[in-house]
Amino acid sequence: MNAQMPARMNALLAWARFAWLNTRRNRRRSLVTVAIAALGTAAILLAGGFALSTYQGLAEASARTTGHLVLAHAAQFDGFEDTPLQHGLTNAEALRQRLLSDPAVRQVLPRVEFGGLISNGDKSVIMMGVGIEPDAEFAVKGPFLTVEAGRELAGTERGAVMLGAGLARNLKAQPGASLTLLAGTTEGAMNALDVTVAGIVSTGVPEIDQRLVYTDVATAQRLLVTDRVSSLGVFLDRMEATLPARARLGAALPDLALRTWEEQAPFYRSVRALYNRIFGALGLIIGVIVVVVVANAMAMSVIERTREIGTLRALGTRPGQLLQTLAMEGLLLGAAGGAIGAAITGAVSVALQVFPVMMPPPPGRSTGYPLLITLDAGLMLATLGLVTTLVALASAGVARRTVRLPVVAALGHV
């Protein structure tokens, strides 16, 4: 059997060379087939690269907003409270130190979420308040807010707030203005606290900007008359550490609940499900177009060579060998087209890095984002394999009937 291997390899190489020479006989038709395969590959890779870039951007934004993991009481995630911070964490600093002892944990940020009213003396507006540790928050998350006026909160100051742009316009508030926060306390009473506007910011989501109030944790706790926090955001050293860290920390803190950033990001899940359907259908349509065009081109080529096929059959060539050769022709054309399509995708991806193109704001947002194409090795190999296989199968499919014609009928074909 080992002695037959070199002979088989030589025969295979001979048929491959024969297939290569056949692709050069009608160069125009071969170029059309290669071009269709290249355009199909590039279209699939560009659409898939755009989807992957969108997924990565949304995932990073979601993890940067809440933390890779969020630690709280299970009831806190339901969102139903009789009084503010009813299900809050009472031993936040001790929990924070336990979490920081894990080697994958980079930072742990407390968060106090509350609702109430904010007033300028003449007008009161519903607010969504968030208490944060400013220095650590901005150091870990980076520029997650756009400062439109004033400045960010400083870690040592108390009684200062940052307002969403829409809320500031509603209250006619500017940096330095004095406002009053009103909220229910943990005991069910009402409390008021005077604050100063440090800055006006935008999240890029107009609905949030119309209600958003940022302050420091100490000011929020003072308003609510409590030492609790709503949750702790756990920031890890990398995205891939999320699930292993959740398993470790969940086992160490069985009385509390840990949610991943993805579980806290319904917008990300919705966009991913939508894009998967859109680009899946697009890929299917492109695949069908490639198969139809290639099958048509190969059918013309096979019909023109029917008498040649009959002659080869008369000389003793088996139908399987002819079918193999014609499939190899498609394989070579598909591989060449796929490689060119991948090169086009790479060139477009680099060009978008050098010459940025901004996309319009998506629904529900006020800011656009750069158009980027992610080059993923797995997606590229899968697409190249798919396109090459489809072209080879299309070639073999249209040739199957012709290579099995009786020799006399093939020789007499006009």
- For residue range 368-398, list pLDDT tens digits in order: 778 889 998 898 998 888 888 888 887 777 7
Helix runs in 24-70, H state only? 27-66
The phi and psi torsions of 158 (rounded to 5 degrees) equal -125, 150
Which residues are CB-contacts of 245 (< 8 A; sequence separation ≥ 6)?
Answer: 68, 69, 102, 104, 105, 234, 236
Q: What is the dihedral of CA 374, 378, 384, 389, to 10 degrees?
A: -150
Q: Which two tokens stand for residue 129?
A: 């308040």
Sites in the chain below the pLDDT cut of 50: 1
Tell me the pTM. 0.77
Predicted local confidence at residue 118, as pLDDT:
94
Q: Which two tokens stand for residue 54?
A: 């969108």
C-alpha separations of 414 from 2, 300, 353, 409, 411 in Å: 45, 13, 55, 10, 9
DSSP structure string for 113-160: EEEEEEE-SS-EEEEEEEEE-HHHHHHHH-S-SEEEEE----TT--SE
Predicted local confidence at residue 244, as pLDDT:
93
Burial class (CB in 10 A: 0-12, 13-18, 19+), 289: middle
Predicted local confidence at residue 1, as pLDDT:
46
Give the total residue count for the chain: 414
DSSP H/E element including 271: helix 266-304
